[in-house]
């Protein structure tokens, strides 16, 4: 199975900050990388697919980049509604589809 490792596991940030979350795959997954946002008590929501494509309806302050083994999710100008846990997920070698352990973005 391909292992997905996110860093950091958690971070504290203020409204208006730029936030960067990193995801590393245990082997190359080309650009088969998706990002999800999960708010407390809610189901995950797809934000970014294919490493850098913004899902319909997702604000443009979210962006994704990377290919191969290293990927980044960036949130420009963090908003109050962005405080949540973020997961990366690979869809290159499946099954299984595997997720990172999550990054919790908290209010500073």
Task: Return residues touching other proteins (CB under 8 A).
Answer: 1, 32, 34, 36, 42-46, 49-50, 53, 55, 87, 89, 91, 94-102
The residues, ordered by sequence, that sit 6+ positions from 94 with a Cβ below 8 Å of its Cβ are none
Among residues 75 and 98, whose Cβ is nearest to other proteins?
Answer: 98
For the bound state, the minimum distance from the C-beta of residue 36 to other proteins, rounded and expressed in Å, comes to: 8
Among residues 74 and 97, whose Cβ is nearest to other proteins?
Answer: 97
Planar angle of CA 25, 50, 105, nearest 5 degrees: 65
Among residues 69 and 91, whose Cβ is nearest to other proteins?
Answer: 91
Spatial separation of the C-alpha atoms in residues 58 and 4, rounded to whole Å: 23
Planar angle of CA 30, 89, 107, nearest 5 degrees: 125
For the bound state, the minimum distance from the C-beta of residue 35 to other proteins, rounded and expressed in Å, comes to: 9
């Amino acid at each position: 199975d391909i292992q997905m490792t996110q860093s950091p596991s958690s971070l504290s940030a203020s409204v208006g900050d730029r936030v960067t979350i990193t995801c590393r795959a245990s082997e190359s997954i080309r650009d088969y990388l998706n990002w999800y946002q999960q708010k407390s008590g809610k189901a995950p929501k797809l934000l970014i697919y294919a490493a850098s494509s913004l899902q319909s309806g997702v604000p443009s302050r979210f962006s994704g980049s990377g290919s191969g083994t290293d990927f980044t999710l960036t949130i420009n100008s963090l908003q109050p509604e962005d405080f949540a846990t973020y997961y990366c997920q690979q869809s290159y070698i499946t099954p299984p589809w595997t997720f990172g352990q999550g990054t919790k973005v908290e209010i500073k």
